[in-house]
A = this chain, B = another copy of it.
Amino acid sequence: MASDQGARVTAAVLIIGDEILSGRTQDTNLRDIARYLGVHGVDVAEVRIVPDVIDEIATALNHLRGRYDYVVTTGGIGPTHDDITADAVAFAFGVELYEHPDILKMMQAKYELTPARRRMARIPTGGGLVQNPVNGPPGFTIGNVFVLAGVPQIMRGMLEDVGHRLKGGAVTVSRTVRVLGSGEGVIAAPLEAVAKAHPGMSLGSYPFFSPESFGSNLVLRGRDPDEVEATVGELIAALQAAGIANVAEVEG
């Protein structure tokens, strides 16, 4: 149900880390990045999660940066031996790493420059910095790639230095209609009819079940706020005409 591809500005998210793949850590960065980019008119179109292996990171990065307008990576930029994202990004771009003098200076002002900490001063030749308002050294950017920390608080802080660099498209507007007490089996037909009448929009059904209630959240997305507004009304009317009584718009 993708809408007008011409108007779309897209991003991929590349999440780096064995601890996400193992299920030990629950990723929340994707959600924060997708919402943040959405506000800037950039849609996340694909996500990959890869292990702490240079070849895996570089291969995924080269594919994604060629296919989408932007790539945001998270994780692997700390000082320990398993932090190899800078190495992988430099390898992917075919450039060398160097110690950025501003980062060295900033770190020297705060702590002793151990060899491990010096690792965090390395960025690929041709790259620029992404400020870290939270704690520790900055992230970096090269080409259409933004390389951010994996720790959620720091990642969110770094994102604030990303938005103003994006050339976003039209912002996607999202509205939610909730059906209570009816399953997707009866929702599907009226929903599909309304979706077909609005090929430029995306209409999805996301069912929920709990001991107390069941139903589905119907999410309407589009770039024309007037069309989205009108479609909410059409969908509610179509559901009611199909005999579904408990239906109302809710906060998305």
Contacts and interface: CB of A to CB of B under 8 A. Distances in A.
Interface of A: 1-2, 15, 17-28, 30-35, 38, 43-53, 56, 78-82, 111-112, 114-117, 119, 134-135, 151, 153-154, 172, 174, 183-189, 191-192, 195-196, 202-209, 219, 221, 252
Contact of A186 (B22, B28, B31, B114): B114
Contacts of A50: 46
25 contacts: A1-B82, A18-B204, A19-B219, A21-B46, A22-B221, A23-B30, A23-B33, A23-B35, A45-B51, A46-B48, A52-B204, A78-B184, A80-B184, A80-B192, A80-B205, A81-B192, A115-B189, A116-B185, A116-B187, A116-B188, A117-B185, A117-B188, A119-B188, A135-B209, A151-B207
A86 B188 CA distance: 16
A82 B205 contact: yes
Contacts of A115: 188-189
A195 B24 CA distance: 19
B21 A47 contact: yes
A51 to B, nearest CB: 6
